[in-house]
Structure 1
Amino acid sequence: MHKKRWRHAACNLGLLVTSIGVTASPCHAAGSRSGWMWSQPANNYGSANIIGDPQREEDVLARIDAWGFDRAYVSYGTLPLSNAEAVANWNKSLANDGVTTQLLLGENTWIYPQNRTALLAIVQSRLVNFNLTREDPRERIHGVHLDIEPHGLSAWSAGTPADRKEMLYLLSDTYAVVRQHLDSQNASDIPIFADLPVWYDSSTSIGWDDAAERDSWFAGIAESLEGISMMAFERKTLSSIVSGVDWEIQNLPIEVRVGLNAAEIGPGKTFADFAAFDAMATSIEQHYGDAIGGVDYQPFYTYVDAAPALSLSADFDSDGDVDGADFLSWQKGYGLVDAATPSNGDANGNGSVNRHDLSVWESQFVSATAPLASVPEPSTFAIFVVALLGSGRTLLKTRTGDASA
């Protein structure tokens, strides 16, 4: 098992070197959250509409930075084949923020032996072959994430507990086949993660002969998997979630994360509003601490829709406008990864100061000059500030909403 190595992999992807001469780790303030980024072309925040769209990518990067994500489960579709550069650039941008990526794949019929060839072909073409073309490790896909749910098949609902148990053995065999394939392709460093409901350990739902057989099945999947995300859906209290996930957390030698369903937010649903949903995620983290890998959100695009807009301000010196002095505050604070304040240049309130805070400054600064595409060289910055302070450029007034020369 490589659990500890994987949990810190994001911090080992390389140092972020910027053009202002600052070198800093991409790892920001502590955060261990993630989301299932399904393609969902009908939603602006489906991965099909994010990858390859620079403006949408920057929007999403700012959000996941503020929300403390440490990984992303991404449905890439055929993009690794049709637009490899877009995938590489997206992965690199995430890696620079300390976020690792996993190839998200979901098809329940992959439990059956006759369908595994199709699964392996996807893993080979969209991950193994893609990674071989990328010299920069930040551009690669860092893991496989299997969302294979046999309980979603008609054979499950029609079957007996004993039938369901046999389907779980087919599932564990599928995990093993993917693991064996990766190992055979010199990709043994690629971890596999999977999604499980909270009741596979139940002798009522599954016809386990006894606790020993159940334990043996879970031990078997732990040989193939690096971690699991427990789908603690339709549970509105911490105690009910703990009762569903605690056995796996206490007994499995792999990483266990807890998944919450953002589609359950709203009047009459599991969580009355986003605040209640977010409070539950925090309660889970506080209850388990380092015993879990983090909290995951299903699906990402629904989470984005439900979450309140980010509270952003680049008036770092609180003088009522966004100008070159605020840029200086950001520059001085750049690289802080914990306990940063607005005066340090933290625009999105996540306790760190990085390029996303610069993007906020850029968006709030109204100038006749071209927007900054990247952080300028020190000499360029000096010229920029002199020109800014001496030219009477238009500044954005954050207190009054007025623009004055």
Structure 2
Amino acid sequence: MNGYRILGIAFISFAIISCGKNDLSQDNLGTGEEGKNGTSPGPAPENKVPELSIWHWGSEKRPYGINNVIMDEARMSETIDSYIQNKVTRVYGGYSKIPAHPIQKENLAKWNRKLKQLGIKSIYLIGNEQWIYPENRQMMIDYILEYYVKFNLSVDVDAKLQGLHLDLEPHQLKEWSVASIHRKRELLYLLKDTYRDLRLTLLHYGMEKDEIMADIPTWFDEMSAIGWASEIEKYNWFNDTMNYINGFTIMAYELASIPTIVQRTNWERNNFKANIQIGLDADEIGRIWNSKSAIINALREINVQTRAPIAVHNYTTFMEQ
């Protein structure tokens, strides 16, 4: 990485004190792939919800995966129209390695300019749970330098990516299912260190204003699930984490009850002033949610009851319904 490379974890020692298309109104190393077969988008119903953040993954097969959208002018316009009608304000884009591709990066820059002109943030969506392990941390830093930092240093201000959205889930590690409670708690501390190292990387390159958001499940605050020694320890973990990230998107997945979703996100919302979003999964339509209308109604009702910002995964699925 030459001048862009950060020399190992020694750098870290400088610690710091992260639908029909119009239904809503609102590689292993961060591949941006979501991997389902494509279908054609359908008509748009009338249901609306407030301003929306979206996970918009890439896909090799689905035409409205974000990697395919930004490479096709017609799809780009169609998708942006959908964003506008659905009041999308934040796009967590699975752009994968496009930012380093000599030709495709120009399409990404054009896309980012279009979104910024509309007041929509284009944010780089990445994740590899293996980065949590200290021995893989330099690999993570190198990846961020190659596909985020270098891109942002090479384009004009309106074409820049505006932050990172981290899909780093320690519970996806092979060891999690057999790990002791003590080990699970250790893994969460490693996750916090990972957030720290990413924030330090951005700071080192003068990107202190770039936001970092992170996905978490609904149960990181549960004493029995993580083995927190006390309420104070749990609070301190979350509070310390807020030194490095701007907020969490709580993945309220596998929960079909709105009261349950509200209750399971209550602790984070009540204890922290950071950006705490509540996200539902459109890929659960037909399984957890009876229909697209049902998940739209749920998003609206959750926002009404909590006044929390809302998010939906995966926007490609909404566009294909």
Both structures adopt the same fold (TM-score exceeding 0.5): yes
Output aligned runs, 1:113-262, within 5 Å: 113-135=134-156, 137-262=157-282
Instruction: Compare relative contact order (CA 8 Å, sep 6+) and give the higher one, 1 or 2.
Output: 2
- Give how far 1:281 is off: 0.4
Listed one character per residue, the Cα deviations across residues 12-62 of structure 1 (whole Å, up to 9, x for unaligned) are: xxxxxxxxxxxxxxxxx9942122111111111112211121011011101
- Give how far 1:241 is off: 0.3
Q: Hey, what's the Cα distance between the residues in 1 that align with 2:136 and 2:51?
A: 34
Name the residue aligned to 1:36. Answer: 55
Tell me the SS of whatever aligns to 1:224: coil
The answer as to whether partners of 2:50 and 2:300 remain within 8 angstroms in 1 is no
CA-based RMSD of the aligned residues comes to 1.6
Name the residue aligned to 1:275. Answer: 293
Q: Hey, what's the Cα distance between the residues in 2 that align with 1:50 and 1:119?
A: 26
The answer as to whether partners of 1:261 and 1:297 remain within 8 angstroms in 2 is yes
| Same amino acid, percent of matched pairs | 30
Q: Which amino acid aligns with 1:118?
A: M
Q: Hey, what's the Cα distance between the residues in 2 that align with 1:56 and 1:122?
A: 28
Change (3 A) 1:30 1:183: farther
Listed one character per residue, the Cα deviations across residues 251-271 of structure 1 (whole Å, up to 9, x for unaligned) are: 1231000110101111xx211
Name the residue aligned to 2:115. Answer: 94
Q: Hey, what's the Cα distance between the residues in 2 that align with 1:118 and 1:70?
A: 31
- Give how far 1:98 is off: 1.4
Q: Which amino acid aligns with 1:238?
A: I
Q: Hey, what's the Cα distance between the residues in 2 that align with 1:114 and 1:56?
A: 41
**TM-score for the superposition, normalised by structure 1:** 0.65
Tell me the SS of whatever aligns to 2:191: helix
Name the residue aligned to 2:83. Answer: 64
Listed one character per residue, the Cα deviations across residues 213-264 of structure 1 (whole Å, up to 9, x for unaligned) are: 0001001111100111000011112110011111001112310001101011
Q: Hey, what's the Cα distance between the residues in 1 that align with 2:304 and 2:86?
A: 16
Q: Which has the larger radius of gyration?
A: 1
Q: Which amino acid aligns with 2:86?
A: W
Q: Which runs of 4+ in 1 moved over 3 A?
A: none
Find out whether 1:284 has 2:302 as its counterpart. yes
Tell me the SS of whatever aligns to 2:209: coil
Q: Hey, what's the Cα distance between the residues in 2 that align with 1:181 and 1:99?
A: 24
Q: Hey, what's the Cα distance between the residues in 1 that align with 2:57 and 2:140?
A: 17
Question: 5+ residue gaps in structure 2?
Answer: 1-17, 19-47
The answer as to whether partners of 1:222 and 1:253 remain within 8 angstroms in 2 is no
Q: Hey, what's the Cα distance between the residues in 2 that align with 1:215 and 1:208?
A: 10
The answer as to whether partners of 2:51 and 2:86 remain within 8 angstroms in 1 is no
Question: 5+ residue gaps in structure 1?
Answer: 4-28, 307-405
Q: Hey, what's the Cα distance between the residues in 2 that align with 1:40 and 1:244?
A: 31
The answer as to whether partners of 1:144 and 1:192 remain within 8 angstroms in 2 is yes
Q: Hey, what's the Cα distance between the residues in 2 that align with 1:247 and 1:163?
A: 23
Q: Which amino acid aligns with 1:111?
A: I
Name the residue aligned to 2:92. Answer: 73
How many pairs were matched up? Answer: 273
Q: Hey, what's the Cα distance between the residues in 2 that align with 1:55 and 1:31?
A: 26
Name the residue aligned to 2:132. Answer: 111
